[in-house]
Amino acid sequence: MPCYSIEGVIPVVDPTAYVHPTAVLIGDVIVGPGCYIGPTACLRGDFGRIVLEAGANVQDGCVLHGFPEQDTRVEENGHIGHGAILHSCIVRRDALVGMNAVVMDEAEVGAQAIVAACAFVPAGMKIPPRSLVAGVPAKVRRELSEQEVAWKLDGTRTYQDLTRRSLASLVEVAPLTAVETDRPKVQAPHVEPLVALKRQ
């Protein structure tokens, strides 16, 4: 992976974490055990520290950055969806930030909370635990159900499994020129999208 020190500060990646080779880590970045960092994610610790605690995931295209002397932190089992941006904020344990959401300076996403896709969490907002926020700017919509909290944890476990699968078998290859007979499928665990669970 592209990994850079700045002023002698070198990123730290736990050996049980997986960082995709196209992700970029710069400076004061600390990636904890069992974390997953997806393709083209950018974690820029050239101003403030960036910390991912155990089992967190930062998916493809995410950007994590912050102001000088301010940490950007994703606590244990934090789940950062495709294309999200975090800036000088904290995502508490078991919380989810949806795809293309933006969480601004000194905001706090409470434990087990969900930030909806494309939401804009303004600077300084404190999201209560186990709540759903959505909109531009984000507003608290309601408390999460037990089913939604369980669904989020299942999704995070799927990424923790992807960490192990990637460490074990993901390698760069040349593409095939044709689809082979009896083409295998990847062995991802089964997980239902939330919309499917709501139909039940």
What is the Cα Rg of the chain in Å? 17
pTM of the model: 0.93
Establish whether the linkage from the previous residue to 184 is cis, with ω within 30° of 0: no
Note the pLDDT of residue 160: 96
Q: How far apart are CA 21 and CA 38, in angstroms?
A: 9
Note the pLDDT of residue 1: 73
Low-confidence ranges of the chain (pLDDT < 70): 197-198, 200
Alpha-carbon torsion 110, 148, 94, 163, what sign? negative
Set out the domains of the chain in order of their start, with CATH numbers. Answer: 3-143 (2.160.10.10)
Note the pLDDT of residue 198: 67
Note the pLDDT of residue 191: 78
Note the pLDDT of residue 192: 75
Note the pLDDT of residue 4: 97
Contact between 105 and 89 (Cβ < 8 Å): yes
